[in-house]
Amino acid sequence: MSHIDSELRKISEGVFDNATLFAIEKLIGSGKINRFSGMLSRGKEANLYHGFSKEGKEIAIKVYAVETSDFRNMDKYIRGDVRFPRWKNQRHLVHLWAKKEFHNLSKIHGKVKCPEPFGVEENVLVMSFLGEKGIPAPRLKDGPLENPKDGLKKILSQVRKMYRENLVHGDLSEYNILNWNEEPWLIDFSMGVLIDNPLAEGLLRRDVHNILKYFGKLGIKKEEAEVFEWIKK
């Protein structure tokens, strides 16, 4: 694979299978990826890498794991989503999972603060990097906002905007919100569902609960039922 640079070769050893390397090659060929520069985080379902686009912009490259992903848990978030077909095998499910996050980001980018999706190929998602010079913006759990009261207001407003765009995040907490320049940015949209999904209401209640629980520890109290109804108005 002539376009894959030495850094990618070093990263990929023992990590990427051939199918993933071919997906990366396609994204390089289309200009979505120019080069990798290192790993940002490692997870059970995906690894996140830092890189650069053809235009020299910093990008985040999310590679979903095919072998170690919890496909039984993933299935319930794909099932019932009219945007995607029934999955055929575990690899196909992981590919749909990557496409799901890409479509969810595409749906709400520009309306709420979230990464901009640039491309997806099989189990590899390319999006804008939230941070600077290879250093990612901290998650709220690691870097609280200086003005948490204002931050909570902004987060709930974004949840409401998403709902108006027919989407529920589904996994929102201090782990999936970044503090970038004292602004809350939402990430990790792979579990997001459309509001007509049978899971949507329960997931929205969970999102509200998690957010208010975190800010409650900072001394900001709100009633979950009131916030829930406000979001749905």
List pLDDT tens digits, range 36-82. Answer: 988 999 888 899 999 999 999 999 999 998 876 666 788 888 887 88
Contact 62, 85 (CB under 8 A): no
Bridge partners of 64? 46
Positions annotated as catalytic residues are 171, 188
Instruction: Tell me the C-alpha distance between 223 and 135, whole Å.
Output: 36
List pLDDT tens digits, range 132-158. Answer: 999 999 999 999 999 999 999 999 999
Region 179-192: mean pLDDT is: 97
- Residue 17 sits at φ, ψ, to 5 deg, of -85, 175
List pLDDT tens digits, range 189-219. Answer: 999 999 999 999 999 999 999 999 999 999 9
- The C-alpha R_g of the chain, in whole angstroms, comes to 18
200 to each of 139, 154, 232, how far by Cα in Å? 24, 21, 12
Q: Is 174 helix (H, G, I), strand (E, B) or coil?
A: coil
Go through the domains of the chain in sequence order and give each one's CATH number.
Answer: 6-135 (3.30.200.20), 137-232 (1.10.510.10)
- Residue 133 sits at φ, ψ, to 5 deg, of 55, 40
Bridge partners of 127? 60, 117
The pairing of beta strand 135-136 with beta strand 183-186: unpaired
* Threshold 0.85, pTM exceeds: yes
Pull the structure tokens for residue 41.
């985080």
